[in-house]
Chains A and B, each alone.
Chain A
């Protein structure tokens, strides 16, 4: 079981508020703690339009990484003429370094299911699919049990709470690779095809699963919905930052320890990193924010707010909610090349810039790190990265250039040392360390 980091008592809890309960699957206990009030209100009082309006007013944004306004997405799906619509909850949790989605589904499956059902009722979808990584067996078991109990309590299935709305929920374990975190790739996988992204527009909200309007929402987004419906849009908007209200689960990894924590969006990175222990902040060299395709931020930027726009401005992104702390022993070039190689190897191979381009970026990194760089490699890296971003199909290739792009932006000195002087300041890249040693 994942460690849940203790957060300051002033930080609000929305997603994991039921975490102390010994049995998270106890439906009655959950109901006592406020679950299902949101769903009841949605199907009885608010109706479809009211639900969407409430979600839109709350300012909730997608937690999958892009931060797209949830209300707008629902409105788009509901407004597209169609014979059927789908809700897909993305609980795939592709990033191996981030256990947030899995933790949420294990600890609070009712919130995910309730949110999915409320979303389905709001956009007029008859089916909600919870896509879970097939090896996350605990999460699957939790969801299945929770769903069975909800159906028994008339909270899912036909004629929910006597409102006449019917939503068929299914838990779909999917097998696949890193790319399944991308919406269109996940939809392809659910259709039984090879997971490869589709060109957007049209967005899945207009043409998604099997060609029908589909809203694909991260499980964290859906889990916030019941809270919003129960407590009102204003209460939610007051939490977190103004532009992106609410809380998020983050997965923190630091030399001193790590775990999952629920943090209000907009919290400075320094405070989040501090959750792993006081020493972590002291020895800080860089913070990798956003998973394997994230940005590498220097210690000087530790005061940046953990928020969509603020992070994008400094060359990182929320991504999978993963935050990895590197201390003084780390070599940024080495880190960036490993991350790029991971992204290159996990590419689906559909587009040229992604399949070959990312591989070439990682080869440049390899050359630099192993002490055989070409003199033009610094420029080549910059040119290639910008061209990959320029003609990218999906966010995977666009973001996979970030480790090097941000690494070069903040740690240019280290890269230059590697290329021009064949030495690794951190002493990590071995052949170079040998070369540097021989020079003395």
Chain B
């Protein structure tokens, strides 16, 4: 016995059931057999003949045959319930459309699942649900981000100091966290809910830190930056991207992940576009950050060809002849708009972009030092021009903007510019440039502007106030009043694409197709000069379309799919988070203005590790936990009930509306979140009263914690008297959260990472094993409770036969001393077959009669009781068995 343990199965026959016992009957009686085969029937669905079994519902037959019918209240484990009315289908010859989850199939039935009639009924139902769905999907920050980054997601990873994961989450929507961490205007932060407690989260600075860590480990330790998705197998298709700015590189990045070969063509000597030639070094270090970020594209296999300019030494025909299957035009906006005032062609009136281009290369612009400079405009370019002029030693720099400061696109940067010595004048527009007789600029005349009626962007349109002209004497004027794309390349060799009336490249907002087959337009060239984050969002979305094109999918069909993939901006009821502890924002420190205004060193001092973790922990995580799993949201998007278009104007604020807003908007319910239970979070405001939890809880689990309560419009599926789940017979199995089609019932997020069993208190009941819905606790050799295995010998049956009235308690007690009783009954039991998977070393100890102290958590309880045969119950030994 000390050498090998015989197989437990060898001795299974040692226990023979007594004749004519309950046990024997239990063992020998077979359960009723199903008929060998259920008759099959055929029905016609949407013009297709499909086969099902007799007795199946229409829904079951359709699902078995891959025909999707939307449901909300249908729980596959249970018979159809019929509450949501989403699965209505049309059956030929019936007046009212039946619901497919409850309707049994009849042979030769003709079913239509997608007629205009049933789709209208489903849509109405969804609208009714949404009109009483006092909840939100996305947090406002994610909502407002043009690229819809999962902001709570990466902040959570940041709070756990997992910067690689944080960056990976970020890269799902934006490939360049460090670049955006420096240059993004952060529209997300303006809408942060934490603002209602104390101050908005520093979202941008937080991902800047995470991105920098990834770059650091890439440069220092050669660790590849994380890739957000699995890289697809090579497709063999080739895509050319023209322009290596943010839009082009983002498109290239996601196309590479999708498995295509990508070559990026750049007209300048180095890649980067506006990021390299438009944004100064002090805001975005070129080598340390920009090139390091672009490295991630190159590591995925992207090729960059520089000095290739569309229209000069490159045409669309060339690229197609070179074998590129798709061409993405992302050449940005480089044509500065004209003022439209007299004398603006004077020599010293400079294009702001042209000026910056020289400056960002690190070269001083000729004759800039000592000049009096006026910068016209209020965007990021004007800010860069002003602050670069200061750094290049201009005698005085005046910034003039025609609207108020709060309307300025770059308003958060203006304070820094003023600190550095820029004079800012608001609400004034140029009327003429004043030159002397030699054509040299001596000044520029402005007129005061007063706010007029609001325009499409919601800002008030400035109108000149006559008689308020004034002159600013100066030597040089920098124009930064916006840019448009250069479309002069359209023509021979690159025929096909058309410009729009606004002088942009005409391309669809979803498919990004231009008027030339296989050619896509994205980024600033399509929408006009915008922010970096908008350009990247454009690039990423166009990559979806190009990918679909390269895979030969129907581009018309990608509209729906892209809408599904793209988080939809939806608005929100604001929940006050007043109970949160006040903890102000960690502000980024900056170099003193006197130190920074003459050099190009990056002036913002990044967070320390402690600061970024503390700042990220401030996030309230106010997202709906069910996002991505929510059937209601999926159907809402599919049926267009909450759909917002992807058009830019809807991205910019005015286009948002509340989830509850549709033609049926009326009174709705606002329930209180119940987080009293340790495992299950209840958010009744998100409940759609489908009744799935109530059904599953009573029919499958047997606990019956939930039911419909109250009547009429106020009906809600909840616990009796809305009591806490703790006071119901809840067994914490989580099935309700599993079945909930929305986020009304969710597994509660917990930080608990590992369970520990206090064996001194364990009574070896095995209920945890039985109750665990995910088999996390199991009977097995490595598990401390393995000897309570239900699969082990048929003692239970023998024991059952001997007892008339069975209760759970007697059952447990008996199970624990079954060995003694089996011995007393004269049934042969050997200790070995009780220890199915005991390690040999432990078995040896047992054989020697030691009573524990093996230290590895195995073999407690029964073992000594058996070998000693003293009839002690196992539990008594558990305590010292592990000393």
Interface set of A (CB-CB < 8 Å, partner B): 177, 179, 194, 196, 198-199, 201, 344-353, 355-360, 363, 376, 380, 383-384, 387, 389-393
On whether A199 and B711 interact (CB within 8 A), knowing A352-B128, A357-B128, A390-B121, the answer reads: no
Contact at B85–A355, with CB atoms within 8 Å? no
Interface set of B (CB-CB < 8 Å, partner A): 80-85, 88, 96-97, 99, 102-104, 117, 120-121, 124-125, 128-129, 131-132, 663-664, 666-667, 688-689, 691, 707-708, 710-716
27 contacts between A and B (CB under 8 A): A179-B711, A199-B80, A199-B82, A344-B712, A347-B713, A348-B708, A348-B715, A349-B710, A349-B716, A350-B691, A350-B708, A351-B82, A352-B125, A352-B689, A355-B712, A356-B128, A360-B128, A360-B664, A363-B666, A376-B663, A384-B124, A384-B664, A387-B124, A389-B96, A390-B117, A391-B85, A391-B125
The DSSP consensus for interface residues of chain A is: helix
- Give Cα A274 to B82, complex, Å: 44
Contact at A196–B713, with CB atoms within 8 Å? no
Quote the shortest CB–CB distance from B769 to chain A (angstroms).
33
Query: A177 to chain B: which residues have CB within 8 Å?
Result: 711
- Give Cα A440 to B82, complex, Å: 53
Quote the shortest CB–CB distance from B684 to chain A (angstroms).
13
Contact at B713–A346, with CB atoms within 8 Å? no
Residue of A nearest to B717 (CB): A349
On whether A360 and B715 interact (CB within 8 A), knowing A196-B708, A199-B82, A352-B128, the answer reads: no
On whether A359 and B129 interact (CB within 8 A), knowing A391-B85, A391-B121, the answer reads: no
Residue of A nearest to B84 (CB): A352
Contact at A351–B84, with CB atoms within 8 Å? yes
Contact at A356–B131, with CB atoms within 8 Å? yes
Quote the shortest CB–CB distance from A429 to chain B (angstroms).
19
Contact at A349–B132, with CB atoms within 8 Å? no
Residue of B nearest to A195 (CB): B711
Query: B689 to chain A: which residues have CB within 8 Å?
Result: 349-350, 352, 355
Residue of A nearest to B82 (CB): A199
Quote the shortest CB–CB distance from A266 to chain B (angstroms).
25
- Give Cα A344 to B715, complex, Å: 11
On whether A359 and B125 interact (CB within 8 A), knowing A347-B713, A349-B689, A350-B83, the answer reads: no
Of the candidates A194, A201, A352, A376, which one forms a contact with B85 in the assembled complex, judged by CB atoms under 8 Å apart?
A352
- Give Cα A390 to B115, complex, Å: 13
- Give Cα A179 to B80, complex, Å: 21
Contact at A351–B83, with CB atoms within 8 Å? yes
Known: A356-B129, A390-B97. 18 other contacts (CB 8 A): A199-B80, A199-B81, A199-B102, A344-B712, A345-B711, A346-B711, A348-B715, A349-B714, A349-B716, A350-B689, A351-B82, A351-B84, A352-B85, A353-B85, A360-B664, A387-B121, A392-B85, A392-B96
Contact at A352–B82, with CB atoms within 8 Å? no
Query: B713 to chain A: which residues have CB within 8 Å?
Result: 344-345, 347, 349, 355-356, 358-359
Query: A198 to chain B: which residues have CB within 8 Å?
Result: 82
Of the candidates A346, A360, A376, A390, which one forms a contact with B712 in the assembled complex, judged by CB atoms under 8 Å apart?
A346
- Give Cα A363 to B128, complex, Å: 13
- Give Cα A247 to B120, complex, Å: 42
Query: A345 to chain B: which residues have CB within 8 Å?
Result: 711-713
Contact at A347–B667, with CB atoms within 8 Å? no
Query: A384 to chain B: which residues have CB within 8 Å?
Result: 124, 664
Of the candidates A201, A344, A376, A390, which one forms a contact with B96 in the assembled complex, judged by CB atoms under 8 Å apart?
A390
Quote the shortest CB–CB distance from A292 to chain B (angstroms).
13
Residue of B nearest to A357 (CB): B128
Query: A389 to chain B: which residues have CB within 8 Å?
Result: 96
Quote the shortest CB–CB distance from A181 to chain B (angstroms).
14
Contact at A393–B85, with CB atoms within 8 Å? yes
Contact at A349–B712, with CB atoms within 8 Å? yes
Query: A391 to chain B: which residues have CB within 8 Å?
Result: 85, 88, 97, 99, 121, 124-125
List 6 A-B pairs, minimum CB-CB distance, nearest first: A349-B715, A199-B102, A199-B82, A359-B713, A345-B712, A387-B124
Quote the shortest CB–CB distance from B117 to chain A (angstroms).
7
Query: B711 to chain A: which residues have CB within 8 Å?
Result: 177, 179, 345-349
Query: A352 to chain B: which residues have CB within 8 Å?
Result: 83-85, 125, 128-129, 688-689
Contact at A353–B712, with CB atoms within 8 Å? no
Quote the shortest CB–CB distance from B733 to chain A (angstroms).
22
Quote the shortest CB–CB distance from B92 to chain A (angstroms).
16
Of the candidates A194, A358, A387, A392, which one forms a contact with B708 in the assembled complex, judged by CB atoms under 8 Å apart?
A194
- Give Cα A345 to B714, complex, Å: 8
Quote the shortest CB–CB distance from B36 to chain A (angstroms).
22
Quote the shortest CB–CB distance from A325 to chain B (angstroms).
28
Contact at B667–A359, with CB atoms within 8 Å? yes
Quote the shortest CB–CB distance from B204 to chain A (angstroms).
41
- Give Cα A370 to B96, complex, Å: 34
- Give Cα A393 to B87, complex, Å: 12
- Give Cα A201 to B105, complex, Å: 12
Quote the shortest CB–CB distance from B264 to chain A (angstroms).
51
Query: A344 to chain B: which residues have CB within 8 Å?
Result: 712-713
Contact at B691–A359, with CB atoms within 8 Å? no
Query: A390 to chain B: which residues have CB within 8 Å?
Result: 88, 96-97, 117, 121
Quote the shortest CB–CB distance from B116 to chain A (angstroms).
12
Contact at B132–A356, with CB atoms within 8 Å? yes
- Give Cα A383 to B128, complex, Å: 13
Quote the shortest CB–CB distance from A49 to chain B (angstroms).
28
Most buried by B among A196, A360, A391, A392: A391
Query: A201 to chain B: which residues have CB within 8 Å?
Result: 103-104
Quote the shortest CB–CB distance from A354 to chain B (angstroms).
9
Query: A359 to chain B: which residues have CB within 8 Å?
Result: 666-667, 712-713
Most buried by B among A344, A345, A384, A387: A387
Quote the shortest CB–CB distance from A385 to chain B (angstroms).
11
Quote the shortest CB–CB distance from A356 to chain B (angstroms).
4
Query: B667 to chain A: which residues have CB within 8 Å?
Result: 359, 363
Contact at A347–B125, with CB atoms within 8 Å? no
Residue of B nearest to A359 (CB): B713
Residue of A nearest to B120 (CB): A387
- Give Cα A194 to B708, complex, Å: 8
Most buried by A among B97, B664, B667: B664
Query: A376 to chain B: which residues have CB within 8 Å?
Result: 663
Quote the shortest CB–CB distance from A332 to chain B (angstroms).
22
- Give Cα A390 to B85, complex, Å: 10
- Give Cα A345 to B664, complex, Å: 17
- Give Cα A289 to B718, complex, Å: 37
- Give Cα A292 to B711, complex, Å: 17
- Give Cα A419 to B668, complex, Å: 24
Contact at B712–A347, with CB atoms within 8 Å? yes
Query: B96 to chain A: which residues have CB within 8 Å?
Result: 389-390, 392
Most buried by B among A349, A358, A389: A349
- Give Cα A389 to B95, complex, Å: 11
Contact at A353–B88, with CB atoms within 8 Å? no
On whether A380 and B663 interact (CB within 8 A), knowing A194-B707, A349-B710, A353-B125, the answer reads: yes
Query: B716 to chain A: which residues have CB within 8 Å?
Result: 349
Query: A194 to chain B: which residues have CB within 8 Å?
Result: 707-708
Most buried by A among B82, B96, B120, B688: B82
Residue of A nearest to B130 (CB): A356
Quote the shortest CB–CB distance from A27 to chain B (angstroms).
41
- Give Cα A91 to B103, complex, Å: 30
Quote the shortest CB–CB distance from A317 to chain B (angstroms).
16
Contact at A360–B131, with CB atoms within 8 Å? yes
Quote the shortest CB–CB distance from A21 to chain B (angstroms).
40
Contact at B715–A347, with CB atoms within 8 Å? yes
Quote the shortest CB–CB distance from B195 to chain A (angstroms).
33
Contact at A355–B131, with CB atoms within 8 Å? no
Quote the shortest CB–CB distance from B845 to chain A (angstroms).
58
- Give Cα A344 to B714, complex, Å: 10
- Give Cα A198 to B102, complex, Å: 10
Query: A349 to chain B: which residues have CB within 8 Å?
Result: 689, 708, 710-716
- Give Cα A356 to B716, complex, Å: 12
Most buried by B among A198, A359, A392: A359
Quote the shortest CB–CB distance from B115 to chain A (angstroms).
12
